[in-house]
Structure formats: C-alpha cells, structure tokens
Structure 1
Amino acid sequence: MKSIACISSSVRAACHHTSSACFPLNRALTMCTPVGRCSKEDLSTRTVVAQQPCVTAAVPVRTFHGTRVNTAVVHQVSAAHFPKPGPLLPRKKDDELTLCQFSRPVPMDKTSSPVPHMSPYSPFIKPKGSEAAPVNANVLRLRNEYLDCVGFAVEEDTLSPGEAARVYSLLALCYDAASQQQALMLSTLNRRTQRLVHRLKASQVSNILQALSKLPQREAISLVLRLSNRASRVFKAFSDDEVIKVLSALAIMGQHDEEMLAAMEKHLPGRLGKCDPELISTVMEYCLQMRCRSEPIFEAVAENFVCNAERHSTLQIAKQIVAMGRLNYLPQCSSHMFKKLESILSTRFSHFQPRSLIEVLHACIHLERFPLNYMSRVFSPHFLQRLQAQGEPLDKNALGQLTQLHLSTSLECTHYWGPRLPYFFHVKKFYTVDQAFETPMESLLYKRVKGPLTQLLGGNVYSTKVSTHCGYTIDVEICLDENGYILPLSEWDHTYRRMALFLDGENRFCNNTHHLLGKEATKRRHVRRMGYEVVQIPYFEFEKLRSQEEQVQYLHNKIFPTIFKFNHTCSTRDSSETLIG
C-alpha cells in the first residue's frame, strides 16, 4: 500500500487557502510507483505557487524548495526543453483579476528580451474581459494523474480525517462537473468520510462543510447531517472564522437541526461581547434564513447592540435589525436598542446604502416601531433619486417595502403629515415569487377547512384569494350586511362589513414556534386598519380536531363571536343615535 504521508503533504500544499493556491504538479506523479509504493530515490525540485487574484505584479512568485520527487518521473517530465516563460498577460486592474490557470510556457523567440528566471510551470492570469489563456495539454494530463493518485487513496480507504478534509478542499478548487471520474471519487469520499465524522476536529468540520457547499450535494445529504451533528458537539471549539464558515455553509445547503440551535444558544451569548461583529451578523443571517426565533441568541445580540453598535458597520447593523424585524422578535431591551438605532441613523444616515436603509426602516414597522423622523427623508425626491441611481431599476421588493412604509404612515400613524410616497412608486399587489411580503395560503389546509366552513355557513357564501385595493391577498372573505347577517355572493353589492379569514399554515410562523413572521403580523394590522374583521385559523389548532363535528364547532367559536361583536357595536350605535335624536 502506498504511503499516505506523500498524499497528505501534496494535498496540503494543493489546498493551502491562506495565501496561495498551489498545484504541485511534478510531485503529483511521485506519490506512488507502479507497484503502489513511494520511490526512495529523491531529487530536489520546485513548484510554482500561483497567487490568488488579489496579488499584484510587484509581488514575486514564491516557490517551495526541497520537494521530493521520483527521479524517473522527473526525467520523463524534463525530457522536453522548457525555455524561459514570457511575461504575464496584460491586465486592467489588480481588483479585476478573476481566474488563475496553470500552463507550461510557450517557447520564446531568441530575440526576445531576457526575463527573470521562473519555474517551468508558470501561471497565466486572465484579466477580466479578456480571452481565457489556453491551458497546456501536458499540464492537464499531470493534474489528472495527480487526481488519479488521490482517487486511488480514497478508493483504498486509507485517508485520515485530516487528509480527507484536505482532499475536500482540493476538490472544491478544481472540481469538474463533467468528469465522471471526479464525480465517482467525490461519491466514494462522501461514503468514506461518514465513518470518520466522529474523529473530525472542529477546524476539519468547518473545512469540509465549506467545501461541500461548493460541491454537488445530492449524494451527500447523509454526510451533511452527520457533519451538522458533529458541529453541534464541537461548537465550543470553533473560532469566530470557523463559526462563520459552518453557518454560511449550512445556510447555503439549507440544513438546520435542533441540536445546532441548542449549541448556538448555549455557547454564543457568552462570546458575543468579544467576537468579531461579522460573526454576529452571520448568526442573525442564519437564524433569518432558517426562521429560527431564538430568544437567548436574540436577547444577547440586542444587549450587545446597545453596548457595541458603534464599532459595527452599517451593513452589519442592517443584518441584525432586519433579522429581528422579519422574525417578529421584540427584545426586552427594545427601548434602549431603538434609541441606539435612532442615534446611529442620525449620525451615520448618509453612510447607509439606500437599499440597506430601507430594509432597516421596513423591519422596524414589523415590530410596530415607526421611524417617522426618517420618513420625510426616505420619501424625499433626493433619496428616491439616489435609490434609482444605483445602476439597477427598482425591483418589486424595494417598491413593496416603500409601499408598506407608506401604508404604515397612512393607516397606523394618522398624525404624520410629512411627505408621502408618490403614487407611481406603489405596487399593485404584494404577492411576489419569493414571498417577501405575504405567504400564500396552503392548499392542503384550505381543503381541510373548506368542508366544515361550507357546512357552518350553509353554503358557499364566501370568496377565496381576494385582492384588496392596498395590494394584500385575503385567504377567505365573508361579507355582512348592516345587521350582521352573512350575505350570499349575489348580494355582495350591499356589503356593510367584511370579514377576513386567514388560514395560517406552518410557513407563516417562525420555525417550531407559534409566532407569526413579521410580514404576516404587519399584514394583519394593515388589513384590520382597512376595516376588515380579522379571524385567524392557525394550523396547529385546526390539526388537533379529528371529527368534522369538532371542526365545525371550532369554526363557529372563531367566526360567530366576531359577528356578535359586530352586531353589538351596531345596536349600541343605533341606540345612541336614538337618544340623541
């Protein structure tokens, strides 16, 4: 069996992320001889390290010295004459470099000016907007042979946990989706790594998860679940950067479990005061994407915001406030938190990107905190021009957020007399593909409610998916006359009062809780202010009912007290008018 130490050192060099990406191509052929063992004959050689796109022309190409190789292989590779390479391809700017490719140099003309000595394998850097530099066939062959050796070790199941982590990093750098060989190697590596998960260290878990987020994951679901479980067990040992890697990878793969949340709730609150602010914003982004409304985490973030918000960037501040608003969480220190936010907005208003600023203000209205001091600035022609001058046309989400801010001022803040949003910025409907403002009614829940509701009302005297003049969608609408009686569809022209039934499925609530999402809470408030009698039928209450008789009685207890309340209000108004007369 070949020595794994050779593969380990080669993969380590190939997957080195901190300052360079290295492919030691000469050394790739030396990992095993035809009989499967490393040769004892050594020869010193060099491997060029291609810097990441952030390097500049002034930085010299670094080399690794003293690398051991197989003598016979070196003679084969060095049989052809390698002249000195030409200069790097021209480029525009250092921040426009987008690709590093490896290639053997093209023979130079003897009349060419001399250039500094470099290794036979020189990087060709592709500037943005230029044609890709051709990759030499010999280099591709050497790279494939290198991957063959790594694949042989994976197939033989001789990798240690650390070597497995480095192989994942290597595949994340050079994975070719069209290569069946690499796909087979990745599938085998996934199966082998599942048996090593319990031995992985914290840094190895974060590296593998980060690599898997860049690789095909269809066949790695079981591995991701085990890695997530392992991450929850070693969470305390993660550094700030490793926590960011783990949560970012899990968010990309859509993975969430209760053990990870429990580990975060146990270990994160105590380290937020000393950690990198980017970690806090990453945690809040993960909670938002997974709809995790965690009281310990959110309370700790709010307290840290009150104490340390000045050292956070405007984008980090926006991520924290947006997560709390959209998950409908009002912390206990909310008064201090919003005072701090108001102070930051007053001093750093111009530092916020227009889109980020709108998202912050929009999140505030979910928590019934109305930023009236800044509405006049947001609705001003100058700010709207800034918003449009960012190079992209206003998308429906930005217009929807502006429209909801406008509705909050007109429906909930009647004492506001400042500027209003121009009508041509209003959206006609809040429904969007990404469900940013309202979640559509679940068809399965409606089918379960439809029969008992029809039996209770004595027929199909209601309408579904009704659009209001403000753009919201009502799940089920029932119309009443001035005496409080339910009107059939044919007599809806005589409607005096409307009732809105919201069939709230699981997607309208935070994960594993009975708290509505911020967008749904705001929708209920606005619909109620528009004159509707609002009745909520949550899934977790209706699913407990087994027989249709219980379901009918449940709907009766929900709907008719609202009608009786309306009748009582009407009769009181009539009697007061009689006394006045």
Structure 2
Amino acid sequence: MALITLRRNLCHLSDFRIHGALAALKNHPVIHVHKVAEERLCPWFCSPQSEPFKVRFHHGCCKKFHSENGNDLHPVGEQVFSQAHDWDRPEQNLKSVDDQMFYRRLNNFTSSEEVLSFISTLQTLPDTLAAGALQRICEVEKKDGDQKLPKEILKNSVFQALCIRCEQESSSLPDAVLVTALHALTLLHVDPQSSLLLNLVAECQRRLKRGGLEVHSLCILGESLIQLQGPGCATLELIIYQLQGEKLEEFTPEDIVALYRILQACTEKVDQHQAFLNKLNNFSLSIVYSLSPTLMSQMISALVVLDQTQALPLVIKLGKYAVRHIPHFTNEELRKVLEAFIYFGHSDRFFTKALEQHVASVCLTLDPEVVSKVMEYCSRKQILSKPILDAVAETFVCQSEKFLPHQISELIEPFGKLNYLPPNASALFRKLENMLLTHFNYFPPKTLLKILHSCSLIECHPVNFMAKIFSPCFLQKLQGEELYLDKLSLAQLTQLFLTSVLECPFYKGQKLLPKYQVRSFLTPCSSLETPLDFQLYRSVKIGLIDLLGARLYFASKVLTPYCYTIAFSTAGTWQCGRIQNRRRRRRTGA
C-alpha cells in the first residue's frame, strides 16, 4: 500500500536542493519555508474571486510534504511549520498509525484546522487514512452549511499535499480509497474540470467498466457522479445496472439508503426502474429497525420524491420505528419525516404522542420551518393536540420575529381549522395583530386572507383589517394577473363579510361588493365548512326517520340566506310536527 511520507516534501523544492534538510532549514527562516511552499503549491488552486469558491488543480510536481515530528496536537490555527526540527536524526523512525485510534481521534475533531494539525503530527499516513482525513474535512465543513472551502484551508500545505497525492497516485489507490477521496473532494466543491477530479473520475470509470467494484464503492461513486455530472451521465446508468445485479441481502443499511438517494436523483426514469424499486421497497421492510435517524429521514424523503405511494407498508413501518428517533432527529430530518407523512396521508397515535412530548419540551429551539410543518401535520390529519398547539402558540409569542409570512399562515390556520383557542390566546392574537399592522404590505394577499379567515373561525374577528381586504385595491392585488378570483378566495372573503354582518354589527366600514360574494362554500377541491362526522350524521338521520316516520319530513345540508350550511333543517322538523298535529286532531275530531 502506498504511504504518504509526511516529512520530506520541502527537500524536493528548488530552494532546498542542498545537502540535507536540516541545513536547508538552518539557512532559511521559518517564514521563508512557508512562503516557498505556498508559492509552489498555490497555482493548483482557483482565484479567490471565483463564485462559488472552488478548488482548481493542475498537474502536481510534489508528491510528499513535511510534518512536525511527534504526536502532540497543534492548537487550532497554528502554523504547520511552527518549529524547525531535525528530521534526519536516526533515532526518529517512522511511526505506524493504528487505524481505529486514528478514526477515533479524527471523529472527535470539529474543524478542518484540527484535522490538518493532527495529520501534520504524523510521520506516515496510509492512503486509506488520508482519504478518511479528506472525508472528515468534508464533514466538518458541511456542518456549517457553507458552500465554499475557507481560503486558509486551501492554502494549507498539508491539505494541498493530500490532494496532490490523490491525483498522482490514483491508479495505485485501492477501490475504497479512490471513491472515498473522490466523494470527499466532490462535496468540498472542487472544480469538476480540475486535473485532480478528471484523473480520479477517469480512473473510477476504468475500474467500473472492468467490473469488480464492491456495492459500497458503487454507491459512493454514483452519488459523486451525480454531484459532478448530474443525473443524466451515462456512467450513472451503468452503476445502477450493476447495482441491480447485486443481491440486496449483501447491502448494508447505509448502502440501501444510498441506492435510494441515487434513484431519487433520476426521477425522470422512475418508471424504468419501478420493478427494481418495488423489490427494493419490499426488502427495506427488513432493515427499518436498524436505520439511524439520519438514514430513516433520507429513506422516507426519497420515497416522497420517487412518489412511491404503493409502498405504504414501508411508510407505516418507518412511522412505527420513527417514534423512538423523534428526540434524536435534527430539525431538517424531522421536517422531512413530517413532510413525508403529510404526503402519504399517514398518521400514528404513538408518533403523535412522541411528537407532543418532543415539541412541548424543545419548541423554543425548533426552526420556524419545523414548527410550521408540525402545525401543518396536525391540520392535515385533524389532530387536536393541545400540548402541541399550546407550545407553538407560546413559541410564536416569544419568537414571532423569526417567522416568515407563509410560516405564520401555516402556524395560525390550524387554530381556526381545529377550532381551538390556546391559554395565551390574547397574547397570541395581540402579537399577530401588531405584526400585521406593522408589516401589512409584506404579506402576500392570499397568505394574509388565509390568516384573517382563520382568526374569524375562532371568533377573533379581524375588524381592524376588514376595510383593507374589502377595498378594490386589495382585491385587485388578490386577483393578480388572473382573469378571475379563485373560488377558495371568494369563499373566504364571503365568510369574512358575513362575520362582519352577523357577529360584528358595530362594523361600519367598507363592504364586500356583491360580485365577490358566493352562494356556497363548497369548492371543487375543498370546503371551508367543517366536514360532517359521517357516523354522527348517520345516527342523527336514522333517529329523525324513526321519530318523524319518513325521510321526506326533514332536510339535510340546507343552505341558509346567509350562506351557512345547516346539517339538518329545524324548519323542516317544525313543519313535520305541524303535519302530525293536524292528523292527530282529525282522528280525535277536534
């Protein structure tokens, strides 16, 4: 196995081609040593003005690099060449690195500087561990969500030498090391046209065509090519074809989820791979119990993107095991899980119970997007969860400035739909009213209408805003570029107008013009009225038939002059009572 020797790089530079590295270091200051290394390695990288910032590599001439002798870690940010050591002393032999110890220490680092400082203290480094170091740098950099590698990392001679080594020794790297290095450099946004990545990709393609790449290497390579060349590259099709020929029993859970991610990137070819997806969905039932929170979130998110509505058994099982992971999901992972359950129409009382406990305990630390998604989940599944609604109401009162207009709408709507007023309702709606008064023009018209309509459903009538939303100016904005207002908006406007007529007689402001009023709240896709409980409706209907003697003596779903729909007409029942009284008088001769 090729080794990276971490102590003889500078000797190959022209400035140090004299007898012995020690003499070179004695003749040149430490600052000059670092400057020479930077001048020789800097051309491998892009100009810092490129956006997004990417690394550009050309042909390298240096295969090795220096490192301090010893195992002590440098403080974060300390220069690699901080001291001049006598590397030629015979008592300082090369040290072998224990793999497990290496990865254990590597995983404890939280910054790229710490990783590179640790690498610089090692005498020798096998290729596998060098690729692992690149992977760890990728992980810690992606945690911050930044899309570019810091310039101080790019200029670090240890990082540069790792990259150069991967480029020049690509043909001798083991399969796992090769694909791991390619994946790490891809995620670090190295320029796809750089000589480094072109060499690595070419070597991967040669080995792929020869066959023999293991499942794990195929999965890593597939995801790397998606990042570099997009889902339409021909090599990706060959990877998927080879993966389909492997036995799923030999896949690890990580490989199964990676395969879902690869297929997720090829949504336009879902029909072509549907038979394999069905096989994959059935097999995945057996590994759900072993999935980590991250893998579970990624799998269920892929099922949404791939529109696997026929995989409901898998979704149900994922929901069952997601219960135990709720406290361990990140904000983004929890959002994806909730989004998937909304998409598939799935709900589970145990999941809801666990979600209640989690939201009630950490709601103030949740992202606004997650909070709004939790409320959307409760709204879509009509889950009247008082712990969730109370916690969300308190969060909005404390952190209202963090929420965007669409998130505020998704947060407020469930209160109206579920007809629930939280204990802090006065503070909640006072905060909402202040936000609307301050930022009225920043709210999209339809979003604003949804919020005000939801408030009216729980008798928090938005009297201060009715004149504005009934004005021709607002209605024109609401209509936008469409020829007509949609029926849902018209129904919401009509209900708000009826509220002002029936329940706010003191309101004397702008009225809604008749042409914007509708006669029914039933819309093609939904209804603004609370849906009937079918079992209760059926019980009442049977009872009335037994009481009155026939179905024709009463009416159901009666539309009143004020456009409200009544489940059963009391007028009809009163009329039936008059008919029965007449029959009774005739029989008695009265």
TM superposition score category, shorter chain reference: 0.5 to 0.7
Kindly state the Cα deviation for residue 157 of structure 1 after the two structures are TM-superposed: 1.2
Letter in 1 for 2:331: D
What's 1:93 paired with?
Answer: none
Q: Is the 8 A contact 2:369 2:407 kept in 1?
A: yes
Letter in 2 for 1:473: T
Of residues 473, 485, 496, the one that matches 2:565 is 473
2:304 equivalent to 1:213: yes
What's 1:143 paired with?
Answer: 236
SS of the aligned residue for 1:213 comes to helix
Q: Spell out, residue by residue over 1:33-63, the C-alpha distance to the aligned partner (whole angstroms, 9 max, x if none).
A: xxxxxx98999899899999xx9xx987566
Distance 1:443 1:71 in 2: 64
Distance 1:458 1:253, change over 3 A: closer
Distance 2:209 2:555 in 1: 80
Distance 1:51 1:479, change over 3 A: farther
**Matches for 1:350-429 after TM superposition, within 5 Å:** 350-389=441-480, 391=482, 393-429=484-520
Distance 1:48 1:229, change over 3 A: closer
Q: Spell out, residue by residue over 1:347-399, the C-alpha distance to the aligned partner (whole angstroms, 9 max, x if none).
A: 11111111111111100111111111111111112211221225463111101
2:358 equivalent to 1:296: no
What's 1:152 paired with?
Answer: 245
2:577 equivalent to 1:486: yes
Letter in 1 for 2:286: R
2:319 equivalent to 1:233: no
Instruction: Between 278-287 and 170-179, report the one with greater CA deviation.
Output: 170-179
Letter in 2 for 1:353: P
What's 1:453 paired with?
Answer: 544
Unaligned runs of at least 5 residues, structure 2: 1-127, 148-172, 212-221, 583-590
**Matches for 1:54-73 after TM superposition, within 5 Å:** 61=193, 64=197, 66=200, 69=204
SS of the aligned residue for 1:434 comes to coil
Letter in 1 for 2:564: Y
Kindly state the Cα deviation for residue 144 of structure 1 after the two structures are TM-superposed: 3.1
Kindly state the Cα deviation for residue 451 of structure 1 after the two structures are TM-superposed: 4.4
Distance 1:306 1:487, change over 3 A: same
Q: Is the 8 A contact 2:182 2:200 kept in 1?
A: no
Distance 1:463 1:481 in 2: 8
Distance 1:41 1:353 in 2: 53
Q: Is the 8 A contact 1:461 1:488 kept in 2?
A: no
Q: Is the 8 A contact 1:478 1:486 kept in 2?
A: no
Distance 1:278 1:72, change over 3 A: closer
**Matches for 1:34-45 after TM superposition, within 5 Å:** none
**Matches for 1:94-109 after TM superposition, within 5 Å:** none
Q: Spell out, residue by residue over 1:424-468, the C-alpha distance to the aligned partner (whole angstroms, 9 max, x if none).
A: 100121112333312565777655544442331244322233332
2:397 equivalent to 1:306: yes
What's 2:258 paired with?
Answer: 166
Distance 1:270 1:261 in 2: 14
Of residues 238, 247, 257, the one that matches 2:348 is 257
Distance 1:41 1:48 in 2: 12
2:437 equivalent to 1:346: yes
Q: Is the 8 A contact 2:554 2:573 kept in 1?
A: no
What's 1:199 paired with?
Answer: 290
Higher strand share: 1
Distance 1:42 1:412 in 2: 71
Letter in 1 for 2:252: S
What's 1:92 paired with?
Answer: none
Distance 1:286 1:151 in 2: 36
Measured on the aligned residues, the alpha-carbon RMSD in Å equals 4.0
Distance 1:190 1:43 in 2: 30
What's 1:183 paired with?
Answer: 274
Distance 2:460 2:411 in 1: 15
Q: Is the 8 A contact 2:416 2:458 kept in 1?
A: yes
Whose Rg is larger? 2
Instruction: Between 404-413 and 213-222, report the one with greater CA deviation.
Output: 213-222
Q: Spell out, residue by residue over 1:292-335, the C-alpha distance to the aligned partner (whole angstroms, 9 max, x if none).
A: 11111111111111111022212211211112111111000001
Distance 1:447 1:321, change over 3 A: closer
Distance 1:464 1:70, change over 3 A: closer
What's 1:500 paired with?
Answer: none
Distance 2:565 2:536 in 1: 16
Q: Is the 8 A contact 1:480 1:487 kept in 2?
A: no
What's 1:82 paired with?
Answer: none
SS of the aligned residue for 1:415 comes to coil
SS of the aligned residue for 1:420 comes to coil
Q: Spell out, residue by residue over 1:266-308, the C-alpha distance to the aligned partner (whole angstroms, 9 max, x if none).
A: 1122222122211111111111111111111111111111111
SS of the aligned residue for 1:475 comes to strand
TM-score (norm 2): 0.60
Q: Is the 8 A contact 2:248 2:283 kept in 1?
A: no
Higher helix share: 2
Distance 1:375 1:234, change over 3 A: same
Distance 1:72 1:258, change over 3 A: closer
Distance 1:291 1:390, change over 3 A: farther
Distance 1:19 1:420, change over 3 A: same
Q: Is the 8 A contact 1:42 1:70 kept in 2?
A: no
Distance 1:244 1:486, change over 3 A: same
Kindly state the Cα deviation for residue 69 of structure 1 after the two structures are TM-superposed: 3.8
Letter in 2 for 1:167: L
Distance 1:157 1:419 in 2: 69
**Matches for 1:2-151 after TM superposition, within 5 Å:** 61=193, 64=197, 66=200, 69=204, 140=234, 142-151=235-244
Distance 1:273 1:448, change over 3 A: closer
Distance 1:429 1:66, change over 3 A: same
Distance 1:338 1:398 in 2: 22
2:420 equivalent to 1:315: no
Q: Is the 8 A contact 1:479 1:486 kept in 2?
A: no
Identity of aligned residues (%): 31
Distance 2:395 2:384 in 1: 17
Distance 1:443 1:311, change over 3 A: closer
Distance 2:301 2:291 in 1: 14
Letter in 2 for 1:148: Y
SS of the aligned residue for 2:241 comes to helix
Distance 2:305 2:429 in 1: 38
Letter in 1 for 2:506: H
What's 1:326 paired with?
Answer: 417
Letter in 1 for 2:261: S
